[in-house]
A and B are shown apart, each in its own frame.
Chain A
């Protein structure tokens, strides 16, 4: 296995184990149409969201994926990496602004250094020089800033083309778009950015397709957990310790129903 293959393998691996990294941008997978019963409290618009999820899947299948596949076919890996690094470096402007808005000054100093280093020695961001000196990119955006300021996430929403979001995520995305330099460079650059984003989401989308029994619910839950983890800088562990022992007190230790239990129910009829 040569170095490039190893890198690709490693990239695939991280995409496999962290399928959520790009779900904020795209959720272009459909799901089998199923009847929805009571909507979850965090998803009161489930019927609408499922329709939008299906729509996005169709857009992906007929438009985004073919273009992305073509891009990957004709673009050498080193160029794909350079394009990814270029747009990723521009995103550092958002990150630095949101560092400041969240009063993360030490982290902001490192992210500013990262932006400066990659924009100069990294030839306008084409090379991620900062990573090689150990400055990993932080992940900050305005939705997280709003969360830090105490704004609740609101209900889950699937937006046309944009994919998963929440009510809080809409102004968050608008602010981030306004503060990202690539927004002002021109339509052609933005189209390349979108194609590049879709190409990099391939591993995540493949993982969802392989792992999910219900891709809509899988995407919603992973998105909400991932965003919550980012907003709390990993401090929220509410979903880690799920244990329903309290709800199973009436059951034997192994949690299984026994015929005797069923009998007991039958012979205790009714007042």
Chain B
């Protein structure tokens, strides 16, 4: 279903590309906090309509939001660590494409419904390496809030998310350990096959 959706989506790729460019321009000069808050608002909006949208609808709605707020090419590079340099250009492109699709798919799968959740901005701080860490938390009715920290780096004229830390667990560090382990032990083809499998599973679960 997911791949069928993607074939259909390919027809509209030009439209999407143009939309992304327009939105990216809108994001130009946005502060790190604004980028995070826009993304969180998009996420909550999709959650509120999650059931009606279905997986394909959530994926479609989140595609622009994720691409415009995350530096996915850089994320793809960082999560395979030094293994990146050992990959051919074709493999690097393939991995980038998979990471983009996997990121959107996991959001579309995990944020599928709404039960009164909301995000609250807490603070932000500059890091020693020129990034900005935006601290926020997700309020969940009748439950403990979950801390969400976003690490952003300046990409061109805009700030982009390169890491999300939920209650102290860094998504980037987690993925980096996993992906480098698979690359070293099983090879590139196995990594591609596993990511493809996850994307496919997300569309069915």
Contact = CB atoms under 8 A, between A and B. Distances in A.
Interface of A: 1, 6-7, 9-11, 13-14, 16-18, 20-21, 34-38, 40, 136-137, 210-214, 217-218, 220-222, 225-226, 228-230, 234, 236-237, 239-244, 247-248, 251, 254-259
B147 A225 contact: no
Given A242-B78, A243-B129, A248 B166 contact: no
Contacts of A35: 185-186
Interface stretch (B31-39, B59-67, B105-113): B105-113
Contacts of B110: 16-17
A248 B162 CA distance: 16
A9 B168 contact: no
A244 B169 contact: no
Contacts of A221: 173-174, 177-178
B92 A257 contact: yes
A236 B131 CA distance: 16
B176 interface: yes
Interface residues of B, number: 63
B113 A228 contact: no
Contact of A247 (B82, B127, B153, B166): B82
Contacts of B178: 212-214, 217-218, 221
Given A17-B110, A247-B85, 12 more contacts: A7-B142, A37-B185, A210-B202, A211-B198, A214-B182, A214-B194, A221-B174, A225-B169, A237-B133, A241-B128, A242-B78, A243-B162
Contacts, number: 156
A3 to B, nearest CB: 9
Interface of B: 73-74, 77-78, 81-82, 84-85, 87-89, 92-93, 106, 109-110, 113, 115-117, 127-129, 131, 133, 138, 140-144, 146-147, 149, 151, 153, 162-163, 165-170, 172-174, 176-179, 181-182, 184-186, 191, 194-195, 198, 201-202, 205
Contacts of A37: 184-185
Contact of A240 (B84, B87, B151, B176): B151
A240 B144 contact: no
Give the most central of B113, B166, B167, B201: most A CB within 10 Å: B167
B86 to A, nearest CB: 10
B169 A226 contact: yes
Nearest to B138: A17
Given A217-B178, A221-B174, A226 B140 contact: no
Grouping DSSP codes into helix (H, G, I), strand (E, B) and loop, the A interface class, with mixed when no group exceeds half, is: loop
Nearest to B113: A9
Give the most central of A9, A36, A228: most B CB within 10 Å: A9
A18 B164 CA distance: 12
Contacts of A254: 73
A242 B163 contact: yes
Nearest to B110: A16
Contact of B168 (A34, A234, A257): A234
Contact of A1 (B115, B140, B172): B115
B73 to A, nearest CB: 7
Contacts of A10: 115-117, 140-143
B192 to A, nearest CB: 11
